Amino acid sequence: MSTIYTFITCSRVCQLKPSTIIQGLKQLETSTNRFRVPLNCVWTNPQRSLHSSGPLKQLNTQRGTERRLILENEYAVEKDTLLYRFDNAKSIKLINVFAISQFVFWSYLGHFAFTMMKDVPVPEEDKANPNLPWWRKMNFGKYRYGITTGCFVVGWGTMAIAWMYTLRCVRFLVLKKGGANVMFITFSPFNRYKSLTVPLKDISAKQSRMSATAYLPLKVKGKYMNFILDMRGEFLNTKLFDYSAGLQRNWS
How would you write the pLDDT of the chain (252 residues) with one tens digit per residue?
Answer: 444 444 444 444 444 444 554 455 445 444 434 434 333 333 333 344 334 445 555 655 565 555 555 544 556 788 889 999 998 888 889 999 999 999 999 999 999 988 888 877 877 777 777 777 777 777 777 888 999 999 999 999 999 999 999 999 999 999 998 888 999 999 988 878 889 999 999 999 988 888 888 999 999 998 888 999 999 999 998 888 988 888 888 876
Task: Output the pLDDT for position 204.
Answer: 92
Angle at alpha carbon of residue 239, lines to 235 and 240, rounded to 5°: 85
State pTM to two decimals. Answer: 0.62
How far is residue 107's CA from residue 131's CA, in Å, rounded to a whole number?
34
Domain definitions of the chain by residue range? 2-71, 77-252
How far is residue 242's CA from residue 248's CA, in Å, rounded to a whole number?
9
Task: Output the pLDDT for position 127.
Answer: 72
Task: Output the pLDDT for position 36.
Answer: 40
How far is residue 44's CA from residue 29's CA, in Å, rounded to a whole number?
27
